[in-house]
């Protein structure tokens, strides 16, 4: 295991009525003017918005609204939020939603207190923001684990880049499984697969020898797979939903990454696919993973073979390492089909007219991946997925 320092700043409140029980004491620490950030309005339909507004009013807070944060949040939306925060002297941000809202607000928190452009700071000057508006997150759509870290994925439409930016950690995150029960089942499955992808991409990094972090990771993957299947059988089961909400958090709270250099090559490729198509993140990962993993063999065979046995329960008897590795990729591909996720880009209305060459050429190549991909090979993978 590599050397590490582990420090985790986010307080997690998990369970039924977590907002009612814990938000008042957190708001007591916050300033007077609170930005209430959310997405397309589903929080108003399911009553969560009204509940949180009441709690904010009870705490005597002045509410500044920042609605309309879209899936695959844009840099333009970040700048809009930063402007609203500055103009209204916002002292605290309450992000309500899934990964898109939560990611967007991490960067709003930083940009609102900066005189320079955060994209240029991080990508041209290779610097990092130093001041942030304090924040809290209320998770209503799970999968990304965005509330667990300070990274955000933002689409810069002008630059045709869907890329990571680094902002603030949340002071606290409220994870009430009941808040996620109105999610469409397609979004539940897509989000849960994103959690599985996070776990796999962490597992496939360095070191490649088995270690404690990877053994926790194997249990996390087994849990996600089991509970995706259970959710499809009974979408109303809160216990199943609770498991998926927590595994999404576990996949991104740093625990699985302790002592690891992660992979995340599939994520980087999907991000750029999203920059050019605005596609569903979880669905894009589902299409890309099997094809990319087949290209990772034989470099990744040792870890693939272990996943075949420890996660997918494939009998290793009379099978070589290479055969087990191939069986893992086949099992993953079959599972994706089983749970109703797309297996080809055309199922996502992405065709040959998409500039896949540009997608491949602009994809960040990650250092922790078992295989050192080239843009040409990523382009080949994209073509195989059509």
Statement to judge: residues 221 and 360 lie in one domain? yes
Residues 191 and 101 placed together within one structural domain of the fold: no
Q: How many domains does the chain have?
A: 2
103, 32: one domain: yes
Domain hosting 16: range is 11-180
DSSP tag of 69: P
Given a contact cutoff of 8 angstroms between Cβ atoms, the answer to whether 266 and 289 are in contact is yes
pLDDT at 7: 84
- Among the candidates 116, 150, 180, a domain finishes at 180
Instruction: Examine the domain organization and report whether 195 and 154 are in the same domain.
Output: no
Residues 147 and 191 in one domain: no
> Does residue 153 have a cis bond before it (omega within 30 degrees)?
no
> Does a structural domain hold residue 1?
no
Whether residue 160 sits in one domain with residue 190: no
- Distance (Å, whole) CA 201 – CA 324: 19
Let me know if residue 2 belongs to a domain: no
CA–CA gap between residue 152 and residue 164 (Å, rounded): 5
The pTM score is 0.96
CA distance 12 to 287: 32
> What CATH code is carried by the domain that includes residue 125?
3.40.50.1970
pLDDT tens-digit profile, the chain (386 residues): 788 888 889 999 999 999 999 999 999 999 999 999 999 889 999 999 999 999 999 999 999 999 999 999 999 999 999 999 999 999 999 999 999 999 999 999 999 999 999 999 999 999 999 999 999 999 999 999 999 999 999 999 999 999 999 999 999 999 999 999 999 999 999 999 999 999 999 999 999 999 999 999 999 999 999 999 999 999 999 999 999 999 999 999 999 999 999 999 999 999 999 999 999 999 999 999 999 999 999 999 999 999 999 999 999 999 999 999 999 999 999 999 999 999 999 999 999 999 999 999 999 999 899 999 999 999 999 999 99
Say yes or no: 125 and 49 in one domain: yes
In a domain, 3, yes or no: no
pLDDT score recorded for residue 174: 98
Residue 135 covered by a domain: yes
The reply to whether 322 falls in a domain is: yes
Token pair belonging to 291: 């094809």
Q: What does the block give as tokens for 377?
A: 């090979």
Whether residue 167 sits in one domain with residue 289: no
The CA distance from 282 to 341, in Å, is 9
Q: Which of 119, 147, 180 finishes a domain? A: 180
Statement to judge: residues 137 and 222 lie in one domain: no
Kindly state whether residues 156 and 44 are assigned to the same domain. yes
Per-residue model confidence (pLDDT) at position 1: 75
With respect to residue 4, please indicate whether it lies within any of the assigned structural domains. Answer: no
Contacts of residues 225-231 at CB distance under 8 Å and 24 or more positions apart, as own/partner, are 225/196, 225/311, 225/335, 227/192, 228/189, 228/192, 228/193, 228/196, 228/339, 229/338, 229/339, 231/185, 231/188, 231/189, 231/192
Where a domain ends, among 180, 204, 228? 180
CA dist., res. 106 & res. 226, Å (int) = 32
What is the bridge-based pairing of β-strands 11-14 and 62-66? unpaired
- CATH classification at residue 215: 1.20.1090.10
DSSP 228-275: HHHHHH-TT-HHHHHHHHHHHHHTTSSGGGTT-B---HHHHHHHHHHH
């Amino acid at each position: 295991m590599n050397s590490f320092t582990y420090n985790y700043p986010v307080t997690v409140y998990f369970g039924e009525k977590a907002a009612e029980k814990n938000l008042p004491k957190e708001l007591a620490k916050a300033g007077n003017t609170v930005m209430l950030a959310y997405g397309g309005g589903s929080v108003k339909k399911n009553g969560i918005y009204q509940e949180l507004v009441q709690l904010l009013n009870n705490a005597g807070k002045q509410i500044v609204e920042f609605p309309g944060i879209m899936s695959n949040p844009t840099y333009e939306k970040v700048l809009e939020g930063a402007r609203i925060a500055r103009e209204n002297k916002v002292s605290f941000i309450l992000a309500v939603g899934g990964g898109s809202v939560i990611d967007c607000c991490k960067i709003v928190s930083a940009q609102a207190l900066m005189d320079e452009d955060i994209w240029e700071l991080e990508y041209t000057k290779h610097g990092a923001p130093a001041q942030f508006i304090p924040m809290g997150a209320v998770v209503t759509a799970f999968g990304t684990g965005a509330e667990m870290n300070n990274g955000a994925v933002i689409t810069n439409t002008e630059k045709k880049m869907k890329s990571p930016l680094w902002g603030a950690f949340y002071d606290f995150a409220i994870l009430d499984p009941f808040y996620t029960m109105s999610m469409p089942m397609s979004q539940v499955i897509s989000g849960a697969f994103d959690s599985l992808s996070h776990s796999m991409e962490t597992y496939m990094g360095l070191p490649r020898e088995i270690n404690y972090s990877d053994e926790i990771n194997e249990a996390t993957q087994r849990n996600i797979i089991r509970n995706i299947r259970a959710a499809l059988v009974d979408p109303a089961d809160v216990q199943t939903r609770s498991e998926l909400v927590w595994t999404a958090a576990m996949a991104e709270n740093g625990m699985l990454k302790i002592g690891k250099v992660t992979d995340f090559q599939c994520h980087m490729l999907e991000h750029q696919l999203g920059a050019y198509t605005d596609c569903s993140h979880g669905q894009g990962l589902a299409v890309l993973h099997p094809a990319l993993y087949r290209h990772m063999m034989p470099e990744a065979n040792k870890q693939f073979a272990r996943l075949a046995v420890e996660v997918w329960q494939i009998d290793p008897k009379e099978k070589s390492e290479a055969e087990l590795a191939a069986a893992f990729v086949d099992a993953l591909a079959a599972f994706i089909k089983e749970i109703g996720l797309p297996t080809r880009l055309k199922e996502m209305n992405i065709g040959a007219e998409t500039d896949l060459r540009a997608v491949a050429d602009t994809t960040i190549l990650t250092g922790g991946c078992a295989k050192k991909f080239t843009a040409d090979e990523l382009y080949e993978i994209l073509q195989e997925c059509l």
